[in-house]
Amino acid sequence: MLLSTDYVPAAIERELERCWGCRVLTHYGMTETGLGGGVECAAGEGYHLRETDLYTEIIDPVSGLLLPDGEEGEVVFTTLSRKGMPLVRYRTGDRARLITTPCSCGTVLKRLGRVQGRIETEVHLKDCQRLRMSDLDEALFPIPGVLDFIAQVDSQGGRDQFRLCIHAVPGGEERVARRTLSALLHGAVTGTLFKEKVLYLENIAFSNTGWMGNGVVKRQIQDRRVSDTVQLLHCSSG
């Protein structure tokens, strides 16, 4: 199975492999790169980039400066062979890193590591720590019974609060809630953030009826702190 998208959670890949009894490989590309960008080989360790057509760089998303190979930043493409609509240092908004070690398949092509989602959808919590939908996906999708979820950050009493609404297989919601809390507390990235007590069991809700996906719109953490502030300013200005 070949999945073509900018980001697929590893847990979803493993589940697809289990359900379909086949190998899942992923392809990374976008309309702007001429659809193709890079594809995984059988080693499954990063996308082998189409280097004859695309020059790939990783930059610091804030300063715009080039980062050394191996450091994570924003993926930037320059098209090398495009005659119509050539792109020079096109910022994709995707976060990833170049893998510096050779691939076991022996190719000389550069490898781009797994895309970690879109930079603009990252939510910044206290101490400049950032939370990404991909971190939540990797922590929650391996939990049996979890089908989808909506994540939201708001502010209560000056503290960031995190809320989850989980679409789960009916029955066993309490078990799913406890496993969710445990997965986030012990997750590689989320552990540091969630030990600050931003998520409580009572902040985990369930919805099993009329669950609507958001179609082609990318899933992202809803940051209500911004809209709350805007609302407050609007109210105070009369």
| Binding of residue 105 to Zn ion (CB under 5 A) | yes
The C-alpha atoms of residue 112 and residue 49 are separated, in whole angstroms, by 7
Identify which range of 71-79, 98-106, 146-154, 216-224 contacts Zn ion by CB under 5 A: 98-106
Looking only at residues 129 through 168 of this chain, which bind Zn ion when binding is defined by CB under 5 A? none
Stretch that binds Zn ion, among 9-17, 33-41, 59-67, 135-143 (CB under 5 A): 33-41
CB of 59 to Zn ion, least distance (A): 25
**Which residues are 95's β-sheet partners?**
74
Using CB under 5 A, which of 39, 103, 133, 166 touches Zn ion?
103
Question: b/e for 82-99, b at 16 or more Cβ within 10 A?
Answer: eeeeeeeebebbbbbbbb
> Rounded to the nearest whole angstrom, what is the least distance from the CB of residue 113 to Zn ion in the complex?
13
Count of alpha carbons within 13 angstroms of residue 47, beta-carbon side: 27
201 and 177 in contact (C-beta within 8 Å)?
yes
Select 41 or 59, whichever has its Cβ closest to Zn ion.
Answer: 41
- Which C-beta is closer to Zn ion: that of 63 or that of 101? 101
Q: How far is the CB of 109 from Zn ion (least distance, A)?
A: 8
State the minimum distance, in angstroms, from the CB of residue 49 to Zn ion.
11
The residue written with tokens 């073509």 in the block is 4
Residue in the block written with tokens 């970690």:
116
Part of the chain binding Zn ion (CB under 5 A), chosen from 26-34, 104-112, 138-146, 148-156: 104-112
Using the 8-state DSSP alphabet, how is residue 179 labeled?
A: H
3-state DSSP assignment of residue 98: strand
Give 156's strand partners: 159
Output DSSP code: residue 21.
Answer: T
Q: Does residue 43 bind Zn ion (CB under 5 A)?
A: yes
28 Cβ contact partners less than 8 Å away, ≥ 6 residues apart = 5, 6, 37, 38, 39, 47, 112, 115
Binding residues for Zn ion, total number by CB under 5 A: 4
| Residue 230 binds to Zn ion (criterion: CB under 5 A) | no
What is the phi-psi region of residue 130: left when phi exceeds 0, alpha when psi lies from -120 to 50, beta otherwise? beta
Of 20-28, 43-51, 75-83, 221-229, which part binds Zn ion (CB under 5 A)? 43-51
Instruction: Tell me how far, at minimum, the Cβ of 112 lies from Zn ion, in Å.
Output: 12
**Residue 25 or 150: which CB sits closer to Zn ion?**
25
> Which residues here bind Zn ion, judged by CB under 5 A?
41, 43, 103, 105
